[in-house]
């Protein structure tokens, strides 16, 4: 879908490389500038997030390295960087500098706190950003420490995916006006923006400021239960018809208390009953019981076990290649020849340096 789009990525960690990987998955020609001058903690010869990209190794603290980036920018459509605010400007590679070279350039920036504001220059990580934005508030049951899947809500959803949306939006503008722009994708912004559905529901009285008292973070029908083998099952049968199916599968459809689905006074008591019930059997028992039903119950799987699930297999979501277990690109496109680049090669750091530098000399 993005065939012919030229993207330059300045090496960083987390959301920036992920966003550039997603653009590469969608067909863009992505060149990542791996940096000699700033060693990245945990850096390896190959990174899964570099799949489908070309790699050039440059020292951006030298005039030669910066000159190479400027040459690459002349024919690029997009630049992506995730450095601390002001770092690119200090290198002479900020948006003002590069828009002089290429006015149509989409300059994509992703940070935790954004390019401005009191916290802009502070360090932080996923959990900090979503804590401040409100996105962490409803995580975990009451009386438990709020916690979400690492990096997914902040770095990836609130950061990388909002950067991709900003880049694609600006490309649409470039196509109409020929003028580029700067995308300021802050994780704290994106994760707060994702709360708007919950804020709408809060306005309807569905959500409360008190943790454990809302429709999705308190009821017995919206949580996970541990099985006899230590594994877990997820339950979220929100609508009445799905809740009835859930009760029927468990033989509880005639229980007078369980029939009072929306009574908060019963949620804790009924949750405790379900804890005892689910603990009577191993996970596989519950998988078979709820299979092919609309009870809205599914097992909690590790990525490795997810790879073996029939539905995941049928959609070819997981694969293992070049030493990495990896998920297929998303979304999918129906009626388009855009083949997934799941088998895209992962370059070594600097693998294409000679090729790219020779191309700049022409």
Q: Give the active site residues.
A: 125, 155
Contact call for residues 105 and 79 (beta carbons, < 8 A): yes
Backbone region of residue 304 per phi and psi (left: phi > 0; alpha: psi in -120 to 50; beta: other values): alpha
Measure CA 86 to chain center.
25
Nearest to 175 by CA among 121, 106, 222: 106
**Cα dist from 208 to 147, 160, 251, whole Å:** 19, 29, 31
The torsion angles phi and psi of 207, rounded to 5 degrees, stand at -115, 145
Task: Please state, as a whole number, how many other Cβ atoms lie within 10 Å of the Cβ of residue 90.
Answer: 11
Tell me the sheet residues that pair with 336: none
């Amino acid at each position: 879908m993005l065939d012919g789009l030229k993207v330059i990525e300045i090496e960083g960690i987390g959301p920036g490389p992920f966003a550039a990987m997603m653009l590469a998955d969608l067909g863009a020609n992505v060149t990542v500038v791996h940096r000699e001058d700033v060693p990245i903690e945990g850096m390896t010869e190959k990174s899964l997030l570099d799949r489908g990209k070309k790699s050039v190794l440059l020292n951006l603290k030298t005039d030669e390295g910066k000159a190479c980036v400027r040459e690459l920018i002349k024919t690029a459509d997009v630049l992506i960087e995730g450095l601390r605010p002001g770092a690119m400007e200090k290198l002479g590679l900020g948006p003002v500098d590069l828009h002089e070279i290429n006015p149509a350039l989409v300059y994509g920036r992703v940070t935790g706190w954004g390019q401005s504001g009191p916290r802009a220059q502070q360090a932080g990580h996923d959990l900090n950003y979503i804590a401040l934005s409100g996105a962490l508030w409803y995580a975990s049951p009451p009386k438990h420490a709020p916690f979400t899947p690492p990096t997914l809500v902040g770095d990836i959803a609130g950061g990388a995916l909002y950067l991709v949306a900003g880049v694609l939006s600006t490309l649409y503008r470039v196509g109409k006006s020929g003028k580029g722009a700067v995308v300021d994708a802050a994780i704290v912004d994106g994760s707060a923006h994702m709360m708007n559905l919950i804020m709408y529901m809060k306005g309807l009285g569905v959500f409360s400021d008190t943790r454990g008292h809302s429709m999705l973070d308190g009821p017995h029908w919206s949580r996970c239960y541990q099985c006899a083998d230590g594994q877990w099952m997820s339950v979220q049968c929100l609508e009445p018809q799905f809740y009835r199916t859930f009760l029927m599968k468990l033989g509880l459809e005639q229980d007078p208390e369980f029939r009072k689905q929306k009574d908060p006074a019963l949620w804790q008591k009924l949750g405790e009953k379900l804890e005892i019930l689910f603990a009577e059997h191993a996970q596989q028992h519950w998988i078979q019981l709820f299979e092919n039903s609309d009870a809205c119950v599914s097992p909690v799987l590790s990525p490795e076990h997810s790879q073996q699930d029939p539905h995941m297999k049928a959609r070819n979501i997981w694969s293992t290649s070049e030493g990495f277990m990896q998920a297929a690109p998303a979304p999918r496109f129906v009626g388009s020849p855009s083949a997934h680049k799941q088998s895209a090669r992962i370059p070594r750091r600097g693998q294409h340096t000679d090729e790219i530098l020779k191309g700049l000399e022409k």
